Amino acid sequence: MSHQFDETVLREYDIRGIIGETLGPDDARAIGRSFATLLREAGGTKVAVGYDGRVSSPILEHALIEGLTSSGCDVVRIGMGPTPMLYYAEASAEEVHGGIQITGSHNPANYNGFKMVFQGRPFFGEDIQKLGRIAAAGEWLDGTGEVETRDILDEYVARLLAGLEGVELSNLQGLKIAWDAGNGAAGPALEKLAARLPGEHHLLFTEVDGNFPNHHPDPTVEENLADLKALVAEKNLDFGVAFDGDGDRIGAIDGEGRVIWGDQLLMIYAEDLLQSRPNETIIADVKASRALFDHVAAHGGKPLMWKTGHSLIKSKMKETGSPLAGEMSGHVFFADTYYGFDDALYAGVRLIAASARLGKSVTQLRSDMPAMLNTPEMRFQVDESRKFASIKEIAERIAASDAVADTTDGVRVTTDDGWWLLRASNTQDVLVARAESESVEGLERLMAQIDEQLALSGLERGESVGH
């Protein structure tokens, strides 16, 4: 017995495909067998398994567990919930050595996939390729694992509430907050959390529905925040929080309906954390605003720019001992009094705590931020064979000029006008561009530099494509 995956499903950070086309129960079974084989070889024996609210998730869960147990791993089934609840199950139980969440993340309803954690670290890149090679060779260990079901929702919600530790709860009684679960897997946890939080809470779309009938659950796309904005305006609420389909990415708006982007949220979290823990390293990805890195430095922290990708950021946090990191995409990682994984529900609780500790409303904190003009993330198709090669050419040309460039992940060039970025996506055949300036004219000049570099490599910006 062996198994060959479709060439498109083994991604850099996770495994992902289209149900009935590139992904199905046979793939799930093979993932289980390969993961269990790797874990047993590393001395582990028990895996936590969870799944999101997609229609296809229960079928994949059944096959995945079949694979894990037939290669000798015991399984703890935690049922349906957000991805961070699975991470919590793995991080908080000593006898659990790995975890797999079945989730299509923020992709359309006909997608699904797997996010994995292995002995407390992210499982990505070469790990995933190795998993594919084991399946192709059929080099699986045999065994008979046992399955137990564990309901950890209440325990998880209690752990989320610990994010308010040290905050005077009576000061929060007047808070009025809107929450949008987007019919994703975080809905039931959000209902329990909101019931236990001080203040007044207005909830949208907490009913789990894998067809996402109200809006697509990606809070980094502004049009998906329309319902949240309407609710905040109608009821005159303090701010609003939204989640993606599996609850590991946060979106937020202030009381005036302004979006608080991923790097702006990190400015708030960093300012709060650095009050009690000065000199700490705060990590953000290369797409983040210069305002964030300046803000961290101004409040006594050490800003560190790193590669985009939640697995890469988590690994860098472990390496540097950083207590806080984040990405433009809304992944925020707390390792000060939490476990270092991305949890949007916990990030929502920490936004309440940060506002209270800093003594300013979320709207005030958003108003205090410098007004930067930046482009949205522009993504455009480029042939897979040219993707990394073109970035290398651009980096070489920039290095030969006198421009100031950072090549941590792609090329980020800083000029008097601001900065521009070109990088290759790790998960799609696209290049990603972004630019930021303090003036319209400056932004235009930066965009012209991007276009010039693309043209020199025989490319053009063209139509921006979705995720």
| 41: three-class secondary structure by DSSP | helix
Look at residue 310 in the predicted model and tell me its pLDDT: 87
Q: What is the pTM of this model?
A: 0.95
- State residue 38's pLDDT score: 98
Name the nearest CA neighbour of 141 among 44, 211, 38.
Answer: 38
Per residue, what are the HEC states of 277-335? CCCCEEEEECCCCHHHHHHHHHCCCEEEEECCCHHHHHHHHHHHCCCEEECCCCCEEEC
Percent of the chain that is helix, strand, coil (3-state, to 5): 40, 25, 40
Sheet holding 324-326, edge to edge: 302-306, 281-285, 324-326, 332-334
Closest CA to 33 of 79, 65, 4: 65
Active-site amino acid positions: 105
Q: How far apart are CA 135 and CA 5, in angstroms?
A: 8
Distance CA 352, CA 114 (A): 31
| Sign, CA torsion 102/105/108/113 | negative
The domain 15-151 is classified under which CATH number: 3.90.550.10, 3.40.120.10, 3.40.190.150, 3.40.50.300? 3.40.120.10
Question: Are 261 and 328 in contact, with CB atoms under 8 Å apart?
Answer: yes
**What pLDDT, on the 0 to 100 scale, is given for residue 105?**
85
Long-range contacts of 21-26 (CB under 8 A, 24+ apart): 23/60, 23/112, 23/113, 24/60, 25/59, 25/60, 25/62, 25/63, 26/63
Per CATH, which fold does 156-367 belong to?
Alpha-D-Glucose-1,6-Bisphosphate; Chain A, domain 3 (3.40.120)
Residue 97, SS3 per DSSP: coil
Provide CB contacts within 8 A for 319, sequence distance 6+. none
193-197 own/partner pairs: CB under 8 Å, 24+ apart: 193/157, 193/160, 193/161, 193/345, 193/349, 196/157, 196/161, 197/161, 197/164, 197/172, 197/349, 197/352
Calpha distance 313→326 (Å, rounded): 8
Locate the domains of the chain by residue range: 15-151, 156-367, 373-456
373-456 fold: TATA-Binding Protein (3.30.310)
For residue 140, the surrounding DSSP H or E stretch is none
Cα 454 from Cα 386, distance rounded (Å): 12
The one-digit pLDDT tens for each residue of the chain (467 residues) are 899 999 999 988 889 999 999 999 999 999 999 999 999 999 999 999 999 999 999 999 999 999 999 999 999 999 999 999 999 999 999 999 999 999 998 788 899 999 999 999 999 999 999 999 999 999 999 999 999 999 999 999 999 999 999 899 888 999 999 999 999 999 999 999 999 999 999 999 999 999 999 999 999 999 999 999 999 999 999 999 999 999 999 999 999 999 999 999 999 999 999 999 999 999 999 999 999 999 999 999 999 999 998 889 999 999 999 999 999 999 999 999 999 999 999 999 999 999 999 999 999 999 999 999 999 888 888 988 899 999 999 999 999 998 889 999 999 999 999 999 999 988 778 999 999 999 999 999 999 999 999 999 998 886 655 54
CB 463 within 8 A of CB 380: yes
Residue 129 in tokens: 């390729």
DSSP 347-374: HHHHHHHHHHHHTS-HHHHHHTS---EE
Q: What is the pLDDT of residue 47?
A: 98
Q: Do domains 15-151 and 156-367 have the same CATH topology?
A: yes
